A = this chain, B = another copy of it.
Amino acid sequence: MTQTKTAPHRVVIIGGGFGGLYAAKAFAKAPNIDVTLIDKRNFHLFQPLLYQVATGSLSPGEISSPLRMVLRNQKNTHVLLDEVRDIDPATKTVTLTEGSIAYDSLIVATGASHFYFGNDHWQEDAPGLKTIEDAIDIRRRIFEAFEAAEKSDDPVQREAWLTFAIVGAGPTGVEMAGAIAELAHKTLKHDFSNIDTTQAKILLIEGMDRVLPPYAPDLSAKAQESLEKLGVTIQPKSFVTNIDGDNLTIRCNDEEIHVNAKTTIWAAGIRASKLGRVLADRAGAELDRAGRVIVSPRLSLPTNDDIYVVGDLAHFAHQGSRPLPGVAPVAMQEGQYVATAIQKQLQGQEIADFTYVDFGSLAVIGQNEAVADLGFVRFSGFLAWIIWIVAHIYYLIEFDNKLLVMVQWGWSYLTRGRGARLITGEASLVPVKVKTPVTEKVEEKSVA
């Protein structure tokens, strides 16, 4: 009896973040499946630690793994460095910058970015933290601010250089505020001659009435207490109404506050990748207000079950009272689920709906300080911090990065040093001979 060899089932994955990469890895031993992972960057970025690059603790290479390296032993998987222009569900084709690629199943995992609520021009004065380039830019701004304060003779200017505003007190905002406070109050304390870095003002602005709004109120209170101990000033129930250079206008309870901050970091708002719009136009997908794609209980489009959406781009509302949050564990589980579902479908097996297994939420505030909500128990402090470290080390995809980050962290912990606080890149405080143009930002990371 001869077995008929059928052509392999072609899976195309767009995006090498947590959702896309974990989907690709879950196809590792799938028989007769051909996987193509498309990303416009050649590396997977471990985004939860990006704030540590922005504050000089880690180097970019330590939180990035080349996609080809991660997937090198997976013979059925190809990596394509390209950007997706269009998706055509009729011909089952993805259009790239050059050429196109056909799929049998498509997994869209292009994530989301921050959102300026219609004020995109604020980006120049208040960058967000999404890419390696963002992190290096923010790192440059932070360390140049201290250098500029050191040089300034004008007390008003000096105060402005030593004022850091962080907009949004979600996990990223809290982590940034905590890390900058530690820089000012601990790491850099003895580094300057003319300024007292502990006089720096770190302002954390949040629209809701507390920090970490998605967390339980007692954890928010704990986090607030820890942040204030570190030297962070929390400004709740406040909205930024204008940013103009270093002039920040904040509205709080019908009152207007003006702040002069040379460094503002944007950690608020969410806008889904533009491929959400493409799926709406081309495949009739429904989007939520943030532009995320509303998916079926099996993470596919209700209108087209060959197209799956996972990670931050997906709006999954079939579990709990709110859609699943845009965090790495959700994306990882969704990616793995879809890869398994596609394999089961090909084998004619039953597929259960997706269920997110929530192992809890963690947010780090500073050295020895984090908050944890494991569902059955909530706590903060040193133990939460240790759990945060173990969880992050565990998930750093490639072992060499794990080892490196552990050594780096161990050493930083003992010395409170931050060896990666380099001022590199385009703009520079010190006028250089050839004026370097400020590189324009790509608005969204998300379209792979």
Contact = CB atoms under 8 A, between A and B. Distances in A.
Interface of A: 40-43, 58-62, 64-66, 68-69, 72-73, 78-83, 97-98, 132-133, 143, 147, 150-151, 188, 190-193, 398-401, 403-404, 407-408, 411-412, 415, 417-426, 428-437, 439-444, 447
Contact of A430 (B97, B398, B441): B97
B422 A64 contact: yes
A151 B96 CA distance: 12
Nearest to A57: B61
B191 A431 contact: no
Contact of A432 (B72, B83, B423): B83
A52 to B, nearest CB: 11
Contacts of A426: 439
Nearest to A421: B66
Contacts of A400: 408, 411-412, 415, 417, 419
A398 B424 contact: no
Max chain B C-beta neighbours (<10 A), residue from A59, A61, A132: A61
Contacts of A82: 151, 430
Contacts of A403: 407, 411
Contacts of A66: 418-419, 421-422
Nearest to A69: B417
A419 B190 CA distance: 34
A403 B430 CA distance: 32
Given A417-B400, A419-B66, A429-B81, A434 B440 contact: yes
A408 B404 contact: yes
Given A40-B430, A81-B430, A430-B83, A420 B61 contact: yes
